[in-house]
Amino acid sequence: MQRNNLLTLTFTPRIARNILIPEKPKCQSAINTITAIPPPTHTFTSQEENLLRDLNKNTFRIVTPIKTDMLEKLTMKHLNRPYVNYVINGLHQGFRYGYTNTRHTTMQNNLKSIYLDIMAFEKAI
């Protein structure tokens, strides 16, 4: 049996081969932000403007554990400004998912088990 020196076959699984190849560590999700395209922005519909005007700002305030001021400083020189601006704006004002059709109110009945102990239900709320 003659072995070809130019071609060495291996049965090492692909994931193991990647572990064995020395290279600098990288964060693929951070690298992906360089070419990421932010979703399109939509202006508020008149229905959305009315809904937002009537919302209790204290009940529906945006809360995030991310320190947005630090994120802004850390990303000042990021190559993809539109994407960074999208993320920072979303953290400040909320992310919109682009639904522009008319919204309808749907009222669902409570589960019957709520009426078994109204006091426990009210306490839980």
DSSP structural state of residue 110: P
* pLDDT value for 72: 97
In the chain, domain spans: 27-100
How many C-beta neighbours within 10 Å does residue 9 have?
A: 6
Residue 99 has pLDDT above 90, yes or no: no
Which tens digits make up the pLDDT trace of 3-12? 555 555 556 5
The structure's pTM equals 0.60
Residue 114 has pLDDT above 90, yes or no: no
DSSP structural state of residue 36: -
